[in-house]
Structure 1
Amino acid sequence: MALIKPFKAIRPAKDKAPFVVSRSYEKYAKKELRSILEYNPFSFLHIINPGFKFHKTISGKERFKLVHNRYMEFLEEDIFEKDKEASFYLYQTGKGDFQSLGFFCTCSLQDYAEDIIKKHEDTIQRREKLFADYLHTVGFNAEPVLITYKDNPRIDQVLQSELEKTPEYDFTTTDKIRHRLWKISDEETLKELMQTFKEMDALYIADGHHRSASSHLLAKRRTKENKFHTGSEAYNYFMAYLIPESQIKIYEFNRVVRDLNGYSIEEFLIKLDEFFRIEKKEDGLYKPTKKHHFSMYLGGEFYSLYLRNTKYTFTDALSKLDTQILFKTILEPILGIHDLRNDKRISYGYGKHNIIKMKDSIDKGDFKVGFSLVPITMDEIKAIADAGLVMPPKSTYIEPKLRSGMAIYEL
């Protein structure tokens, strides 16, 4: 039984919304970031980069306090406004032939703790604590956790009927992505959506494992500190964007490695022969087309690697995952990479054009070998989560990527 609740969002004033919302901070090049901070006083980037106002780089607890101050300034200057009634917020985003439709709500951290909200990635304790400290100081959450649910005709019908109404926002950002948002505050509609989710056995985190883990850590801290804790406080919930499984796009992460761990190309190919049937490809770029099939770029040549099923044993959902197969057959035993998250010899790239970038980086000599995989499926993600297992790092790149500042949840 999944518990979701409406909330009173802090949102940009209607005339300022296109100027407020921002991509993730790390997605901006330095020149682009500086230009926005210089010429757009409404950008949410001013809140998360408060040192710009003082021409100073500020970090740690001092930065957290200033983030809170900038947020309060946005409220005081009516750049942000608080809704008077608790609502769900239907949000459609898309570009070209890829469209996503879901809604902002709050999810229960008790559901998170009891594994009704399921995870498939591991988290780093240090990052959990840091972001929990951040949330505690700033007092708001501006980046929702992306959570999927099984496609449901009843929910689809409700959301499609809301699409016929006039949206609160309708604008296109400079990356040509269109954004539309509707407020759902009708009491009967809210009840119907909440009841439908109560009938679901599970929800699945697609993106935002550290955000949800940090919210859970913060809730545990505040529960201990609050002598009058009731369970209904804002910190018992976290902001999420719920989206049906069919509305997400999953890309693969390619892997590139800086050296062959002391092997020559010929020796390396002989090592690979134990687990793979190897074929050299003569024509241009080569990408894999099915599971347990890999593309490799090495020494100016593309190769296909077909897993020898007689050599590799499938034992559980994790062992069937291509990123795990690559790790257990090549990266760890042959190339000596044991820590996929921190080893500086390995790097990752995503997206439909990344195989070109992978080839270029190897041709330039920055890396020695690269591997391309097919994208992981939603069924594989769910199988991993249902089994309580954890994917290797950088197994999926999932869209949509949501804008910061579109809707804010106060803690």
Structure 2
Amino acid sequence: MVTVKPFKAIRPVPGLANKIASLPYDVVNTEEARNLAKDNSYSFLHVDRAEIDLAPSINPYDKIVYEKARENFDKMLKKGLLIKDNEENYYIYREIMNGRSQVGLVATVSIDEYLEGIIKKHELTLPEKEQDRINHMDYCDAHTSPVFLTYKANPELKKLLNSWMRSKNPVYDFTSEEEIRHTVWIIDDKSLINKITYVFKEIDYLYIADGHHRAAASVKVGLKRREQNPDYKGDEEFNYFLAVLVPHDEVFIMPYNRVVKDLNGYSESEFIEKIEEKFEVEKCNEGQPFNPSQKHTFGMYLSGNWYKLTAKEGTFNPLDPIESLDVSILQKNLLDPILGIKDPRTDKRIDFVGGIRGLEELERRVKEDMRVAFSMHPTTVEDLIAVADAGMIMPPKSTWFEPKLRSGLFIHGLS
């Protein structure tokens, strides 16, 4: 049984949503954020990546960065750039990318259900990144970016949300620079709010798609506030965190490709010979990049040529939700034993390229600073759910979600 709760969103004043909404803090580095926001004083990156308004030498985890985030957030509120709704509402957030629609319910969800495993995770978190978001939430007294959750699609919920979208005018409707259309509706009808809340109680689990650090940090901030308020009743805002909930059949996952700096001492012919022990290797026609269209196949770009790699039978366990993932097959049978990359989280010889950048980016990296690239078949949302249901952890960099949820459209105050 899943608990969702409406909330009083802090959100952009109508007319400025397109200028305030920004890419999530964790998909851009400081330099990229600074460039994106330099000509846009409204950008929410001034809150989510507040170091862009400080000297370049400042450590992004320094206390002064969180103080600056709060200062910028308060300025946006005082200037009326952000407003807070008077009533608790749900919100619908639809994104359309390349003609494909993703419809999410914006709500708050329970930190207790995260702790109880009703909200399931599939990734490990890094303490330093968790602490960064804990500090940011504490200083801003708010969840400034939503966690991306998914659930097994429910026909009744789809019907309710689609009916509202057809019959009501959106509060925001704009197209971002990446040609993604963002549309938001406010659900302020008490009867529909109650109905949505009830339908979610019939859903067994929620799954974190993206935002594991935000979720973990939100829970720890909530627990900290409980310690500070020992007489808490349970309905306080810090007991819930901000989320966008999207049905699993609308979640779009792109591949997370790999590039490696060297061949670990092998010559090119020796390298291919080693690969052939575990994979069928086929050279592609000249000038034809290989984009895998089915599981257990991989593209490899080496010395200006593309190859198709197919995992041989017996090299993985098809019944194991982790071992049968393509990222696991490549790691176990090639990256580790041949290229010597034991821990892709920490090895500096490997880098990861989101599928949104295309195969051309892999070719560019190999020509500029890498030796070999691998194109992957995307992990499916069904894979993600199977791993989470088994209580297991996915290998690093298994999923790349598109379109990205914008930050600054919905903010959840903790007090």
User: Which SS does the other structure have where 1:335 is aligned?
Assistant: coil
> C-alpha displacement at 1:182, in angstroms?
1.0
Q: CA separation in 2, counterparts of 1:361 and 1:47?
A: 32
Q: CA deviation at 1:129?
A: 2.1
**Structure 1 residues 138-173: Cα deviation after superposition (integer angstroms, max 9, x where no partner):** 111121011111221111111111112111112223
Match of 2:266 in 1: 263
1:2 aligns with 2
Aligned-partner SS, 1:370: strand
Q: Which of 307, 317, 341 is the equivalent residue of 2:321?
A: 317
Give a deviation string over 1:324-373, Cα, whole Å, max 9, x none. Answer: 01111111111111111121100111225522221232234x21111111
2-structure distance, mates of 1:193, 1:201: 15
Displacement of 1:130 in angstroms is 2.4
Decide whether the 8 Å contact of 1:5 with 1:105 is kept in 2. Answer: yes
Q: Which residue of 2 aligns with 1:127?
A: 129
Deviates more, 1:401-410 or 1:296-305: 296-305
Q: CA deviation at 1:61?
A: 1.3
Q: Distance in 2 between matches of 1:151 and 1:190?
A: 18
Deviation at 1:255, TM superposition (A): 0.8
- Choose the corresponding residue for 1:376, options 375, 379, 401: 379
1:212 aligns with 2:218: no
Choose which of 103, 117, 136 in structure 2 pairs with 1:115.
117
Percent identity over the alignment is: 39
Give the letter for the 1:138 counterpart. C
CA distance in 2: counterparts of 1:265 and 1:342, whole angstroms: 25
SS, match of residue 363 in structure 1: helix
State the secondary structure of the residue aligned to 1:162: helix
**What is the CA–CA distance in structure 2 between the aligned matches of 1:290 and 1:57, rounded to whole Å?**
46
User: How many residues are paired up?
Assistant: 410
1:23-34 equivalences in 2 (<5 Å) = 23-25=23-25, 34=34
> C-alpha distance in 1, partners of 2:228/2:29?
41
Contact 2:69–2:136 under 8 Å retained in 1: no
1:180 aligns with one of 179, 183, 199 = 183
Q: Which amino acid aligns with 2:109?
A: C
- Partners of 2:32 and 2:356 lie apart in 1 by 24
Partner AA of 2:342 in structure 1: H
Which residue number corresponds to residue 400 of structure 1?
403
In the alignment, does 2:379 pair up with 1:367?
A: no
Rounded Cα–Cα distance in structure 2 between residues aligned with 1:271 and 1:54? 50
Return the alpha-carbon distance in structure 2 between the equivalents of residues 54 and 182 of structure 1.
35
Partner of 2:330: 326
Distance in 2 of aligned mates of 1:265 and 1:235: 56
Structure 2 CA distance for aligned equivalents of residues 312 and 177 of structure 1: 38
**More divergent stretch after superposition (138-147 vs 26-35):** 26-35
Q: Does the CA-based 8 Å contact 1:118-1:386 persist in structure 2?
A: yes
Give CA deviations for 1:371-394 in whole Å, capped at 9, x if unaligned. 111111111111111011111111
Q: Quote the Cα distance in structure 2 between the aligned partners of 1:215 and 1:289.
A: 37
Counterpart amino acid of 1:97?
Answer: G
With normalisation by structure 1, the TM-score equals 0.94
Distance in 2, matches of 1:229 and 1:85, equals: 22
Greater Cα shift, 41-50 or 327-336: 41-50
Structure 2 Cα separation of the partners of residues 35 and 279 of structure 1:
42
Taking structure 2 as the reference length, the TM-score comes to 0.93
In the alignment, is the contact (CA less than 8 A) between 1:51 and 1:57 conserved in 2? no
- Counterpart amino acid of 2:323? S
Partner Cα separation in structure 2 for residue 293 and residue 36 of structure 1:
36
Q: Does the alignment pair 1:250 with 2:267? A: no
User: In the aligned structure 2, how far is the partner of 1:114 from the partner of 1:378?
Assistant: 22
AA of the residue aligned to 1:20: I
Matched, 1:40 2:40: yes
Deviation at 1:16, TM superposition (A): 2.0
Aligned pair in 2 of structure 1 residues 269, 158: CA closer, same or farther (>3 Å)? Answer: same
Q: 1:238 and 1:128 mapped to 2: Cα distance?
A: 15
Output aligned runs, 1:183-198, within 5 Å: 183-198=186-201
The two structures, once aligned, show a CA RMSD in angstroms of 2.1
Distance (whole Å) between structure 2 residues aligned to residue 305 and residue 32 of structure 1: 34
**Rounded Cα–Cα distance in structure 2 between residues aligned with 1:337 and 1:81:** 49
Match among 90, 99, 102 for residue 100 of structure 1: 102
Asked if structure 2 preserves the Cα contact closer than 8 Å seen for 1:248 and 1:400, the reply is: no
Measured at CA, do residues 51 and 341 of structure 1 come closer, stay the same or move farther in structure 2, by a change above 3 Å? closer
Unaligned runs of 5+ in 2: none
Contact residue 254 and residue 354 of structure 1 kept, 8 A: no
Distance apart, 1:246 and its partner CA: 1.8
Query: 2-side partners of 1:238 and 1:352: how far apart?
Result: 28
Cα distance in structure 2, aligned partners of 1:262 and 1:82: 59
AA matched with 2:85: D
CA distance in 2: counterparts of 1:125 and 1:180, whole angstroms? 35
3-state DSSP of counterpart to 2:244: strand
Taking structure 1 as reference, are residues 6 and 305 closer, same or farther at Cα in structure 2, changes over 3 Å only? same
In the alignment, which of 326, 335, 339 is matched to residue 339 of structure 2? Answer: 335
Q: How far is 1:229 from its partner?
A: 2.2
Are 2:388 and 1:385 aligned? yes
* CA displacement, residues 178-211 of structure 1 (integer Å, 9 cap, x when unaligned): 2221111211101111111111111111111111
